[in-house]
């Protein structure tokens, strides 16, 4: 199909495909960040059940390093804050890519005289949208 399209339409179609890949990557990063955030919040909650004088260890690469309650709590709280900011950034980026994709898709459909409706390229979220 691409061989029969005008060059400008081919360029837009290629850009749409690139945006679809970008949307997939952002979605995967967002899911990974949200998963890590959930795990970190669970660790912070579990820390609330630990006595303040208890011996604790934190993982540093392949090593376990002894740490104290205050340090462990502070590091987990900082990690939660960082992950929340990252998740928010990824959410905004995902929305921006989706909006750009939809706009470009509309331009391409207008350029082709309304063709490409249900048979056209699937959006960044796949069939049925994000």
pLDDT attached to residue 127: 44
pLDDT on residue 3: 58
**Domain 18-104, CATH number (from 1.10.274.30, 1.10.287.3510, 1.10.1370.40, 1.10.287.370):** 1.10.287.370
What is the predicted pLDDT for the residue at 43?
94
pLDDT averages per 10-residue partition of the chain, 130 residues: 74 92 96 97 92 87 93 94 98 96 90 60 50
How much is the pLDDT for 130?
43
What was the pLDDT predicted at 128? 45
The pLDDT assigned to 81 comes to 98
Q: Identify the DSSP state of 4.
A: G
What's the pTM value of the predicted model, to 2 decimals?
Answer: 0.75
Q: What is the DSSP string of 43-104?
A: HHHHHTTS-TTS-EEEEETTEEEEE-HHHHHHHHHHHHHHHHHHHHHHHHHHHHHHHHHHHH
């Amino acid at each position: 199909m691409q061989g029969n399209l005008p060059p400008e339409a081919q360029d837009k179609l290629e850009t749409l495909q690139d945006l679809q890949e970008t949307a997939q990557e952002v979605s995967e990063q967002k899911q990974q960040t949200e998963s890590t955030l959930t795990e970190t919040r669970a660790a912070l909650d579990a820390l609330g059940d630990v006595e303040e004088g208890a011996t604790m260890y934190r993982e540093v690469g392949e090593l376990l390093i002894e740490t104290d309650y205050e340090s462990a709590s502070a590091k987990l709280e900082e990690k939660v804050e960082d992950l929340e900011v990252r998740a928010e950034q990824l959410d905004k980026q995902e929305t921006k890519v989706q909006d750009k994709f939809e706009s470009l898709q509309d331009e391409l459909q207008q350029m082709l005289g309304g063709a490409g409706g249900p048979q056209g390229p699937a959006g960044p979220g796949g069939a049925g949208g994000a």
